[in-house]
Structure 1
Amino acid sequence: MARLPFTKTKAVPDGAPPDGASDGSAPGPAAAATAPGVPATATSAGGGLLGGMSGMSIRSPWWLRLLIILFIALAVSVIWFTNGFLGDRFSETTRNRADVRLALYTGHILSELQRTSIVPLLLTRDPDLMNSLKTHDFSTTSQRLISAQAEIGAASILLLDDIGRTVAATDRTQIDTKHGSEQYFVNAQRSKDTVFTLSEKPTGGYQFTYSRALLSDGKLAGVIVVGAELAKFERVWAGITEVVAVTDSENRVILSTEPRWRGLPLNEALATRSVPSAFERAFRLTSDWANEPPDAYLRGEAVMRNEARIPFHGWRLTSFTSYDSIREKVNTVLALEIMGFAVLLAMIFYLLSRRARRQTAVFRRESAELRQLNIRLQREIAEREKVQKDLAVAEQTLAQSSKLAALGEMSAAVSHELNQPLAAM
């Protein structure tokens, strides 16, 4: 009887190759056998897949990382462009508004000067004033000047006699004061028309006066002096978040919301004069958001400078506007953009985290399936080993039986050979 081939197999631990795989030989029949419903690739390489799965790391693909980098670069570019574009646009808008305000301020100044310029002409035609100068009776003259001041809104009105002594005034403390050497009195004597005079006050600042001579029979009887109320504009301008200054033809500051500047050249005032805290608060600014070079610097802070010409004796009106409103508007838009990009980036990371969790769940499920397959494979191998052991025992029993049968046949043959001679005898 032919002997059956016998191959012994053993269980394969997790991650270990089957017998014969280490030297490149083909696996034995038992290793190649599979359990019912178990794929051959899973059973033969289950341990190797499981070991490789345990060392696998979940990493984002290169194109996804590149996409995130491009997204961040796009966000930075958009923010940078928005900063420049809105900075230029809001700066231009602020400059236009400042120009409009300067035009409005210029109109107010000219209106005040024109209204004041006609007052001396009207008063010189008042017969009561001329009669008081002739009769030297000024008992009611000051009251008439006060009434005229209330109607017109002039800063002050003085009536001077032919030697420059104040004989009537809206401010009664000025009566009997001498003005013979003042420029407005001298200019009025030299001209028959109304003359404008800019002069410094003894207490500081400037006074803006219109003066006109009162003539009687071709001779000087007196001079009427009317002061223009321009200082009120300083108080109005001071309530706005900008500094405004009026300079004469010599670039000397004659009106300003900053009192320290009066009497100084504008450039010198900007360079040397200290700025009070209120002014500093109005001009607080970071030049980082200014896309164009600043027009001027005040205590190291950049400001926007706007100028307008006043068609009167070469005067100029200059304003210094803060960039605070521009910075606030730009920062508001930039904050919204940054928040939007942050939300989008958070959504991207959320989707990536969900994808990673799904991949982790898939890997865990596949790992569990491979473990189950490995257990089934080990169970099948154990069963096959038991069958092979039983087969070996059966083969040994069959071999013994074959030997006994052969001995029986041999003994029968010997007996037959011995019996033939005996039978013949």
Structure 2
Amino acid sequence: MTRRLLIIFVLAVGLVAVCALTWTITWRTGIDTLRRNAAVRGDRMTAALKSTLERYESLPYLISRHPLIQNVLVKQHPDLVDQANRYLEDVNHHARATATYIIREDGLCVAASNWRGPDSFIGVEYRFRPYFIDAIGGGVGRFFGIGTISHDPGYYISQPVRLDERIVGVAVVKLNLEWFPGSDATEPLFVTDDHGVIFLSSVPSWKYHTVRPLTGTIADSIEQTQQYARQDLAPLPLSVESVLADGADIVRVGTGIGAPRFIETRRSIGEPDWQLVTMSPVAPVDDDARSAAIMTAFAYLSLCLLGFYWRMRRARVREVMRSREMLQKAYGLLNERVAERTADLSQANEQLHREVAERTRAEQELRAAHDELIQASKLAALGQMAAGITHELNQPLAALRSFSDNTRVLLDRGEHDAARENLEAIGSLTERMGKITNQLKLFVGRARPKNARALIGRALRNTLGLLGKRLDGVRVELALVNGSVEPPSRTPFDPHLDYPELVAQCDDLRLEQVLINVIGNALDAIAAVPSPALSIDVEAGDATLAISVRDNGPGIPDDVLPRLFEPFFTTKEVGQGLGLGLAISSSIARDCGGSLAARNEPGGGACFVLTLRRVQVVVPRTSAADA
């Protein structure tokens, strides 16, 4: 055990040493490469910035030598000022500078290239700006700051304007350098002025920070010249971790262990006294060193595992030889146990045959019981169909009796035309009874036509005609509700019209069958009411048609409402109903893709709503010329 622990300890120490060596070599190599690349990048960016500044260095001198500029600073005649503004505007446009302007010796701007804009420099005093002070003293002014009028940062180059060897003003060119750090955004880059203030940066959050704390004198000077428009020039949290060759340092920006580290290289711009600082992230080098250490660790562990495998294989060979001897002994014992197990399996097989025979007999008995149940279900269906026929034929038979009595009276009176109409009605009822029988067959067989259509107006007229005698003394209100507009409109419904635009997806006889059952039940409910009344509304929607039948009866009891559409459930006395009307009506509505629902009205009485799919038809309109 002690020897094994010692081997593991030695291997662990070797793993740590190899990984540390690999990490150190890879990290140093990466740092050297990163430092060289940063130096090249710093030289390239410094050259680009210096080239830009030098290109505009002579522009304010050329402007100061122009006679128009010299004269306007002395005479300041309106015509001369206008010519100077246009000249400066043209020069600024062709030079692609941000702004070009001239300042009198008292510090007041008298002409500018942006004279047309609302943020024109004309009339603004610049006596406090360092570039004016340097130029009015006879030198060249170079200054970076934030504009007091435009509030845009820029680089200012100024030259004195001389007339007869006397300085009469200053010519200034402003350049926008905000593009410069963004030209290479792969790694951070910033430019500092002679006070260490970052005024150009590819990282926006670093802008207007300082690389070192400002002294009181420098801070007061920046405040007086309004160089950075009263920006809060807080120090950048930058700390040097180690110093490298060629003026490069490894720095950490921020606080804490997780703060990013960079290789910082500095390049002097020269004139003006600026420094360009490139920041190359050290994280990729750390990642590469970490990856190399991990790969080395994997290789080291692989070699260790290979050694362990070779050692374990030798031990395995010895174990196999020992196991072979034990296997031969176990083989004899196994033969004895196999014989015992075979006897047990034979006994279990006989038991299984007996259980299979028992299950087969039970299955045969179950099939016989299932066949008997099917026969009983068929007898119940036949009984339900016979009861349905009895219920559905009650209404036509009653109408036949009424029409036949009326026909006999009309014949006695000699009113043959009226008698003929009754006979035609009797023929229609006979045909209807045949259709009802056929529909009940379809009800049992669940076969329904898919493209049947029915006119709502005709079905209501036939239903009311069939129930004419029962409607005597009952106040009936018919209304048509257009539910496809906002707000819905309500107009009287004329039972003498077919309303060809109101077509439901349902067989006409089946629709009348449902309406007779629903309206008949409503008439039964208001039979004992002193002032019986029915309200029938036809609500036409875009895709549905809803027929609502309301009565002023006692309503539906709460315990009856859930079972209202169950077959053979009825609240009527024996002999007055079979409880199949609403069940058949609900089945018809479902087969047609609709529904039949019932509820109690808040003001009293019950309401049945039959909802069907609407068939959209185009009804030809008669023009005034045809009329």
Q: Same fold (TM over 0.5)?
A: yes
Q: CA deviation at 1:129?
A: 4.0
1:104 is the counterpart of 2:44: yes
2:194 is aligned to 249
Amino acid aligned to 1:179: E
1:303 corresponding residue in structure 2:
261
User: Within 5 A, what are the aligned runs for 1:213-292?
Assistant: 213-236=160-183, 239-242=185-188, 244-259=189-204, 261-268=206-213
Show the counterpart of 1:387. Answer: none
Assess if the C-alpha contact under 8 Å between 1:102 and 1:317 holds in 2: yes
* 2:153–2:176 contact (8 Å) kept in structure 1: no
Spell out the pairing of 1:158-169 with structure 2 (5 A cutoff).
Answer: 158-163=101-106, 164-169=108-113
How much does 1:343 deviate? Answer: 3.1
Q: Considering only aligned residues, what root-mean-square deviation do their CA atoms show, in Å? A: 4.0
Q: Is the 8 A contact 1:303 1:322 kept in 2?
A: yes
Q: Larger C-alpha radius of gyration, 1 or 2?
A: 1
Partner Cα separation in structure 2 for residue 264 and residue 341 of structure 1: 48
Paired residues of 2:68 and 2:80 also in contact (CA < 8 A): no
Q: 1:138 touches 1:168 (CA, 8 Å); kept in 2? A: no
- 8 Å contact from structure 1 (residues 261, 273) kept in 2: no
Which residue pairs with 1:194 in the alignment? Answer: 140
Q: How far 1:118 sits from its partner (Å)?
A: 0.9
Q: 1:321 to 1:205 in 2, by over 3 A?
A: farther
- Deviation of 1:233 (Å): 1.7
Could you tell me how far 1:82 is from its partner in structure 2? 0.7
| 1:355 paired to 2:314 | yes
Question: For 1:336 and 1:261, how far apart are their aligned partners in 2?
Answer: 37
In the TM superposition, residue 150 of structure 1 has moved relative to its aligned partner by: 4.2
User: Which residue, out of 75, 100, 105, partners 1:157?
Assistant: 100
Task: Provide TM-score, normalisation by structure 1.
Answer: 0.57
Residue 172 (structure 1) aligned to one of 113, 116, 120:
116
1:310 and 1:199 mapped to 2: Cα distance? 17
1:336 deviates by 2.5
Q: Is the 8 A contact 1:149 1:156 kept in 2?
A: yes
Q: 1:368 to 1:212 in 2, by over 3 A?
A: closer
Aligned partners of 1:221, 1:365: CA distance in 2, in Å? 115
Q: Distance in 1 between matches of 2:25 and 2:42?
A: 26
Q: CA deviation at 1:166?
A: 3.4
1:254–1:335: structure 2 CA closer, same or farther, 3 Å change rule?
A: same
User: What is the Cα deviation at residue 360 of structure 1?
Assistant: 0.5
**Aligned match of 1:332 in 283, 291, 297?**
291
| Cα distance in 1 for residues equivalent to 2:179 and 2:42 | 16
Find the aligned partners of 2:200 and 2:273 in 1 and give their Cα distance: 14
1:268/1:190 CA distance change after superposition, 3 Å: closer
Q: Contact 2:60 / 2:171 at 8 angstroms: preserved in 1?
A: yes
Counterpart AA for 2:261: V
| Residues 214 and 220, structure 1, Cα contact 8 Å, conserved in 2 | yes
- Opposite residue 86 of structure 1, the aligned amino acid is T
Q: Structure 1: which 5+ runs fail to align?
A: 1-58, 276-282, 373-425
Distance 1:146 1:324, change over 3 A: farther
**Contact 1:208/1:228, CA 8 A, preserved across alignment:** yes
Question: How far 1:101 sits from its partner (Å)?
Answer: 2.0
Superposition deviation, residue 252 in structure 1: 3.1
Cα drift, residue 204 of structure 1: 6.1
Deviations 1:105-145, CA, capped at 9 Å, x for gaps: 22222222222211111222334544665554344544443
Q: Which runs of 5+ in 2 are unaligned?
A: 215-232, 332-627
Structure 2 partner of 1:381: none
| Count of paired positions | 295
Aligned partner of 1:122 in structure 2 is 62
Which amino acid in the other structure matches residue 278 of structure 2? S
| Native 8 Å contact 1:159 1:224 kept in 2 | yes
Show the 5 A alignment for 1:366-385.
none
- For 2:211 and 2:236, the matched residues in 1 are separated by 13
- The question of whether the paired residues in 2 share the 8 Å contact of 1:161 and 1:223 is answered with yes
- Determine which of 20, 23, 35 is the counterpart of 1:95: 35
Change (3 A) 1:349 1:151: farther
What is the rounded CA distance, in whole Å, between the counterparts of 2:302 and 2:90 in structure 1? 70
CA distance in 1, matches of 2:114, 2:306: 76
Q: Secondary structure at the match of 1:240?
A: coil
Which secondary structure state, in structure 2, belongs to the residue aligned with residue 255 of structure 1?
strand
For 1:43-58, list aligned pairs within 5 A: none
Q: Give the deviation of 1:90 after TM superposition.
A: 1.0
Cα distance change of structure 1 residues 339 and 92 upon mapping to structure 2, 3 Å threshold: same
What are the Cα deviations for residues 375-404 of structure 1, in whole angstroms up to 9, with x where unaligned?
xxxxxxxxxxxxxxxxxxxxxxxxxxxxxx
2:155 equivalent to 1:211: no
Equivalents in 2 of 1:250, 1:132: separation in Å?
Answer: 36
Residues of 2 paired with 1:323 and 1:298: CA distance? 14
User: Which has the higher mean CA deviation after the structures are superposed, 85-94 or 307-316?
Assistant: 307-316
CA distance in 1, matches of 2:10, 2:274: 56
Assess, with a 3 A threshold, how the Cα gap between structure 1 residues 340 and 147 changes in structure 2: closer, same or farther: farther
Higher relative contact order (CA 8 A, sep 6+): 1
- Relative to structure 1, is the Cα distance of residues 348 and 205 closer, same or farther in structure 2, using a 3 angstrom cutoff? farther
Instruction: Look up the equivalent residue of 2:122 and give its one-letter code.
Output: D
CA offset digits 1:222-249 (Å, max 9, x no partner): 4210123332223335x2332x333333
- Aligned-pair CA distance for 1:219: 4.0
Q: Secondary structure at the match of 1:117?
A: coil
Under a length normalisation based on structure 2, what TM-score does the superposition of the two structures give? 0.41
The offset of 1:80, in angstroms, is: 0.9
1:125-144 aligned at under 5 Å gives the runs 125-130=65-70, 136-144=79-87
The percent identity for this pair of structures is 19
Cα distance, 1:367–1:119 mapped onto 2, change above 3 Å: same
- CA shift at 1:358, angstroms? 0.7
Moved more, 136-145 or 352-361: 136-145
| Counterparts of 1:351 and 1:226, CA distance in 2 | 81
Separation in 1 of the partners of 2:124 and 2:236?
A: 37
Instruction: Check conservation: 1:112, 1:228, Cα contact below 8 A.
Output: no
SS at the partner of 1:213? strand
Aligned to 1:185, which of 113, 132, 152? 132
